[in-house]
Amino acid sequence: MAEEIIKKNDLIYLILDNRRKWLVTVEEGREFQTHKGIIKFDEIIGKPFGSVIFSQPYETQGYKFYVLKPLPSDYVIYMSRKTQIIYPEDAGLILVYSGIGPGSKVIEAGCGSGALTCILGNYVRPNGYIFSYDIREKSLKRALSNVIKANLKDFVSIQYGDILIDDFEHANVDSVVLDMPQPWKAIERIKKYLKFSGTLVSFSPTIEQVKKTTFALQENEFYEINTYELIKRKFQVKENATHPEVRMIGHTGYITFARKIKDVRNPYREKKPKQDEFVELNGMPLRGDEK
Ligand SMILES: C[S@@+](CC[C@H](N)C(=O)[O-])C[C@H]1O[C@@H](n2cnc3c(N)ncnc32)[C@H](O)[C@@H]1O
- List Cβ neighbours of 73 (8 Å cut-off, separation of 6 or more): 88, 91
Supply the CATH number for residue 15's domain: 3.10.330.20
pLDDT at 36 over 80: yes
Atom 19 of ligand 1, nearest CA residue: 162
The amino acid present at 63, given as its one-letter code, is Y
Quick one: 240 and 188 in the same domain?
Answer: yes
CA of 179 to the centre of ligand 1 (A): 6
Long-range contacts of 143-146 (CB under 8 A, 24+ apart): 143/111, 143/112, 143/113, 143/114, 143/117, 144/114, 145/80, 145/114, 146/75, 146/79, 146/80, 146/113, 146/114, 146/115, 146/117, 146/118
pLDDT of residue 74: 87
Structurally, how many domains does the chain consist of? Answer: 2
Q: Are 139 and 161 in contact (CB under 8 A)?
A: no
- If asked whether residues 32 and 152 sit together in one domain, one would say no
Domain that holds residue 47: 11-70
- Please write the tens of the pLDDT for every residue from 47-73: 999 999 999 999 999 999 999 999 988
The tens digit of pLDDT for each residue in 21-33 reads: 999 999 999 999 9
Task: Judge if 65 and 177 occupy the same domain.
Answer: no
Residue 116 alpha carbon to ligand 1 centre in Å = 11
Task: Find the 109 Cα to ligand 1 centroid distance in Å.
Answer: 6
CA of 125 to the centre of ligand 1 (A): 23
Residue nearest to atom 13 of ligand 1 (CA): 110
DSSP run (H or E) holding 72? helix 72-78
Residues in contact with ligand 1 (CB, 6 Å cut-off): 83-86, 109-110, 112-116, 133-136, 139, 162-164, 179-181
List, in sequence order, the alpha helices (H) in 99-136.
115-124
Do 174 and 194 lie in a common domain? yes
C-alpha 133 – ligand 1 centre gap (Å): 8
Q: What CA–CA distance (Å, rounded) separates 75 from 225?
A: 30
Q: What is the CA radius of gyration of the chain?
A: 24
For atom 3 of ligand 1, the residue with the nearest CA is 112
Question: Is 266 part of any domain?
Answer: no
- How close is the Cα of 130 to the center of ligand 1, in Å? 15
pLDDT digits (tens, 9 = 90+) for 80-108: 666 678 999 999 999 999 999 999 999 99
* Sign of the alpha-carbon torsion through 172, 175, 179, 181: positive
User: Do residues 94 and 116 lie in contact, with contact meaning Cβ atoms separated by under 8 Å?
Assistant: yes
Closest CA to ligand 1's atom 2: 112
pLDDT number for residue 73 = 86
Domain assignment of residue 52, yes or no: yes
Provide φ and ψ at 79, rounded to 5°: -85, 160
* One domain, residues 115 and 34: no
Instruction: Give the whole-number percent of the chain exceeding pLDDT 90.
Output: 81
